Structure 1
Amino acid sequence: MLTVSLDSIKLLAPHGLYPQEHILGNSFEVDVDVNLPDAQPWPFADYTLIQQTVTKIFNKEGQLLESFVYNIHSALKELFPVSITVRVAVRKLNPPMPGVVGYAQVCYEK
């Protein structure tokens, strides 16, 4: 199996449940792994298309990390139909909550 990955795609977007998040915005990171079957010649997944897909989804309005993970995953599965699995992890860096938390993360792989 061949895996094409992009890690720590950095985004700033006004997404979140709280009103101040829509004003101040949040920093996000996204990791993507696209697993492809072994074949000759090997199929490939264009890194640029992966990054463009993630950015396109984040440019749409939304609140929940789960929605972004699902929408990115669905778009990538459609873009790379030969993929065996696609894994998407979305992290909100420094989420607005009491205490010190590095990030909140939601992952989906199928």
Structure 2
Amino acid sequence: MVTVEDVRRLALTLPRTTEHLIRDRVKFRVGQIVYVAFSRDETTMGFAFPKEERAALIEAEPTKFHPPRPSDERYNWVCVWLAAIDEDEMTELVVEAWRMVVPKRVAAAHLDGLIGKA
């Protein structure tokens, strides 16, 4: 099972990411834009995701993904139960969420640097 600590280890390596505790919820953001946030009990992770693709993702894997609370449905956001994903899938979700909120050149430079190290 993925934990907040697993996500923290990854998220804090992504350029411009900062961690915040807001109303007892851990959140990772770039500037003022949150791209990953946890439920208070740390069983669910919300993450940036194109809202036009959200319904298809949830429909494809309803035991893993679920919609955000109604007040957040207007945002590019979806939620996942941490117990339903492994570290590889968490990495993909977090990195893709981060890519949605950073300038394209920042994402490209960071990801090119990772590919160059492989």
Which has the larger share of helix? 2
Q: TM-score, normalised by structure 2?
A: 0.33
Alignment TM-score, normalising by the size of structure 1: 0.35
